[in-house]
Structure 1
Amino acid sequence: MKFFQNLDGQGKAGIGLLILLGLMALSAPLLFAGDPLAIAGEPLIRPFTNYAHWLGTDRLGRDVLAGLFHGARTTLLVALSSAAAALIAGSLIGTLAGFLGGFADNVLMRITEAFQTVPGFLLALAMINVLGPSIPTLIIAISIGSWTQAARVTRAEVLSLRERDFVAAARTLGQGPFSIAFREILPNAFGPAASLAAVSVAAAILIEASLAFLGFGDPNSVTWGTMIAEGRSVLRSAPYLSIIPGLALVVTVLAVHLTGQALTRRPSSARERSNV
């Protein structure tokens, strides 16, 4: 509670929106049991004209509100899982590169630079073309295109930490190099890389929506990108089919951005108070 009170207005708004989105995702199976892709009523019912379908139905008669809730599950699952995988993989590679140095550092950094030359969206698109669209494939594909920044940030932090006294003390006590790297250095170097989590989550949300919009999402799951794509064919007569999931995407990315900015500002504010 104290943590929430110490945040500024933007941070509180961001966390509040994320909590709301999380509740939507968790409550989707309870409020909208059954298959959200199943036909629920007449096609193209407009929003707020039918109590059974508050946000209307699409051109096949599927409930838009049910799709919105179940789409939140897919979006948050893919975004959080891929961002976590990218952060873990990048931190491990950056730790190895910074601690080992020499030839290992050169090889790992050249691999990192090779991945950075290709846009993450194109890497994800190529992998899905090869492996086929599914939720696990989406998570792996998005994380492969977004681990490089965490690797570079972690490496830079490790380079500044590996000559510290606590590392020399660990060597004196007989700890092996990998034990020192992952038990002593990585926990201290993880903070700067973790600050990239909000950027990674926001990017993963947009990449997942873009892939789904182009038809490369999981065909067995409801996603906001798929809902936007479905509304293209009736954009003139039923624009709400694309506007509603589009607004959900905007709100989600905005919430992640506001939360990330607030968490980034907190450490500097704490240091300023301590200096006073």
Structure 2
Amino acid sequence: MTVLKRLLYSPAGMVGLILLGLLILAALCAPLLFPGDPLAIAGPPLILPFTDPALPLGTDRLGRNVLAGLFYGARASLAVGLAVAAVSIVAGALIGTIAGFSGGLTDEALMRVVEAFQTVPGFLLALAFVSVSGASLPVVILAIALGAWTGPARLARAEVLSIRERDYVAAARVIGMHPAEIALREVLPNALPPVLALAAVIVGNAVLIESALSFLGLGDPNIVTWGSMIAEGRNVLRSAPFLSIVPGLGLIITVLGIYLLAEGLTDALATRKARP
């Protein structure tokens, strides 16, 4: 039985797959269903949900379409989460491989850098970086990645420390391969699978941190994000609570789907390894 079939038989994995599938579908369909600028005025302000067929989830204080913002917010969350995961895993895996394979002073120096970054909470690090560098989507991605690469680095180093003593690595040294070539071609590919397992956690944390930054007004002002929608709704929380509830539910469903899918994948892979 393949990993995909085992994932589909897992209740957590199946629910996570459905939730993320709907999220991805919403993100891809956003420009088709809502062409134009999602920040543009779509009608009178504060239309209640399900009172206007043209605006199913109503409008915010400025008259912007809440449903369009919800769909475009899914695009922003996915873009940030996946980009942060890619940057963190690539950087962390490379640094961890260099540290574990080199050993000695190089290993000590790189691990002290990792520990220095780990002493600062990821959100505070991102908050400080965005405050200094300015709010834009690339800056937000880089800021979140600054606090997320240490986990992959430590895990990659631990894997490399065991892999570098195996027979095929010794054989590569005997035939005269350059140490960098051995590290990147022989060691890193075998150390990468456990590191990739952290991707779901990184994506989930990145989505939450980006939403928190946007809520504080430190997100990209030129795009719609769920954090900025929640922040907009807090000013009229008593009279129009749906403005914060709708994007908040989107955020909850996204993070829940990511973690359920990760749990299902973990179970599927563990079952595969357990088979004789």
Q: TM-score range by the shorter chain?
A: over 0.9
Aligned partner of 2:30 in structure 1 is 28
Is residue 144 of structure 1 aligned with residue 146 of structure 2? yes
More off after superposition, 10-19 vs 215-224: 10-19
How far is 1:62 from its partner?
0.3
Distance in 2 between the 1:163 and 1:82 partners?
A: 32
Alpha-carbon contact 1:133-1:219 (below 8 Å) kept:
yes
Is residue 196 of structure 1 aligned with residue 198 of structure 2? yes
How far is 1:4 from its partner?
3.7
Aligned partner of 1:212 in structure 2 is 214
Q: Structure 1 regions of 5+ residues with no counterpart?
A: none
Aligned partner of 1:9 in structure 2 is 11
- Correspondent of 2:55 among 47, 50, 53: 53
TM-score (norm 1): 0.97
Counting matched residue pairs gives 274
Tell me which amino acid in the other structure corresponds to 2:229.
Answer: M
Alpha-carbon contact 2:50-2:57 (below 8 Å) kept:
yes
Alpha-carbon contact 1:4-1:12 (below 8 Å) kept:
no
1:14-43 CA-partner distances (Å, limit 9, x unpaired): 011111111111111111000100110011
- What SS does the aligned partner of 1:6 have? helix
Overall identity of the aligned pairs, in %: 61
Instruction: For 1:229-240, list aligned pairs within 5 A.
Output: 229-240=231-242
1:105-126 CA-partner distances (Å, limit 9, x unpaired): 0000000000000011111111
Instruction: For 1:1-276, list aligned pairs within 5 A.
Output: 3-7=3-7, 8-272=10-274, 274-275=275-276
1:29-63 CA-partner distances (Å, limit 9, x unpaired): 11100010011001111111100100010011000
Distance in 2 between the 1:121 and 1:113 partners?
A: 16
Distance in 2 between the 1:223 and 1:267 partners?
A: 34
Tell me which amino acid in the other structure corresponds to 1:99.
Answer: F
Distance in 2 between the 1:46 and 1:3 partners?
A: 45
Alpha-carbon contact 2:3-2:269 (below 8 Å) kept:
no
- What SS does the aligned partner of 2:39 have? coil
Q: Give the direction of change, closer, same or farther, for the CA distance of 1:267–1:3 in structure 2 (3 Å limit).
A: closer
How far is 1:5 from its partner?
3.0
- What SS does the aligned partner of 1:234 have? coil
Tell me which amino acid in the other structure corresponds to 2:5.
Answer: Q
- What SS does the aligned partner of 1:96 have? helix
TM-score (norm 2): 0.97
Alpha-carbon contact 1:212-1:226 (below 8 Å) kept:
yes
Alpha-carbon contact 1:39-1:60 (below 8 Å) kept:
yes
